[in-house]
Amino acid sequence: MAERGSRERTILAVDIGGTKTAAALVRARRARTSAAAPPVVLHKTVVVTDQSSAEACLGGVLAVVGALGEWAAGHSAAAEGMGVGTASMVDFARGRIVESVNLPLRDVPLRDVLRQRFGLPVVVDNDATAATLGEHTFGAGVGTRDMLMLTLGTGVGGGIIAGGRPYRGHSGAAGELGHVLVDIDGPPCPGNCANRGCLEAYVSGRAMGAAALAEARAKPASALGRALAAGETVDGPMLTRLALSGDADAVRLVARTGEYLGAGLVTLVNVFNPELVVVGGGAAAAGELLLAPAREVLAARGLRPQRDEVRIVPARFGADAGLVGAAALALTELF
């Protein structure tokens, strides 16, 4: 008899982000301990997220899912369920968006809206929690029981797997790992966070871009300074590119970012005692240039045995992490 949940499913995976909304029809299967093949994308649509109003934003989501459903009907690939990751605080039990930082969606019963419109079982969760499930089901975290994930994007997202299951807290808002304090007198945290000196204020793509710009202004003769003088956009991706090409100033800045990441990891690893921390997101593209300094800080400052037991590794999935996560969410929660 087949292991429960191991049957291949056809899933509508939806990723609602502040910049783009992606939806894909995928076929996916869960494996418990060995590396599962990642979801196979049958068809995918990406649209710019409409930020003008809640109605327009929601309308855009319904349109992109509707178009995908029509494609599925025309190709005999009927979806069995829908998984949705959204850049929002989600009341998981009710499938309801409570609040969003970078989306005009607040108090939206998204699960019920989608279920009524498309007549499918639907599960809605925070996008970072979904991405964490994606790595746990198909990626770097397969086979682990206790893992954390940090997603370094425009902001910093986080997710927690505890005892083999996603940990969502009392109402579903747990896992804001980017808001661990690393400096009580640090810069104000961007977005809706009232705190200052959060990890997010140092290791997000936005923070790396700001550090690169400050370096360019302070050192006009550096590669960053020359790029600024030439009118180029000095941002996080440029910093990462220069670091990967071996520019010493950029390598040092990325390493400094890695040390802040390590400082945040000290707290997280001490508290959660995970066996694995997965670091993903576009701002983590410098790879070992970022992760090696983070590991050094953790090794020097973390508590034992936690610091000795944990592995800090890059994520498997890049641009498709949200869709892979939404598919994993549906597999985990619906079937």
Under rule CB under 5 A, residue 267 binds Zn ion:
no
**Residue keyed to tokens 């579903």:** 172
Binding of Zn ion by 195 (CB under 5 A): yes
- The residue within the footprint of Zn ion, chosen from 12, 87, 189, 263 (CB under 5 A), is 189
Quick check: 327 binds Zn ion (CB under 5 A)? no
- In the complex with Zn ion, the residue whose CB is nearer, 72 or 101, is 101
Q: Which residues lie below 8 Å from residue 126, measured CB to CB, with a gap of 6+?
A: 85, 86, 87, 88, 89, 90, 157, 159, 172, 173, 175
Binding test (CB under 5 A) with Zn ion, winner from 25, 87, 97, 198: 198
Please state, in angstroms and rounded to a whole number, the distance separating the CA atoms of residues 179 and 189. 8
Nearest to Zn ion of 1, 184 (CB atom): 184
Backbone angles phi, psi at 78, to 5 degrees: -60, 130
Question: For residues 204 and 222, which CB has a smaller minimum distance to Zn ion in the complex?
Answer: 204
Q: Which of 101, 193, 251, 334 binds Zn ion (CB under 5 A)?
A: 193
Interface residue with Zn ion, options 9, 96, 111, 179 (CB under 5 A): 179
Residue of 67, 25, 59, 55 whose CA lies nearest to 42: 25
Residue number, 99 or 275, with CB nearest to Zn ion: 99
Spell out the residues 6+ positions from residue 334 whose beta carbon is closer than 8 angstroms to its own: 80, 81, 83, 121, 123
- The CB-of-141 to Zn ion minimum distance in angstroms stands at 25
**Residue with Cβ nearer Zn ion (171 or 195):** 195
Contact call for residues 131 and 280 (beta carbons, < 8 A): yes
9: contact with Zn ion by CB under 5 A: no
Per-residue contact string for residues 59-98; x = within reach of Zn ion by CB under 5 A: ----------------------------------------
Indicate the residue among 79 and 177 with the shorter CB distance to Zn ion: 177
Q: Which two tokens stand for residue 72?
A: 């599925």
Note the residues at the interface with Zn ion (CB under 5 A): 179, 189, 193, 195, 198
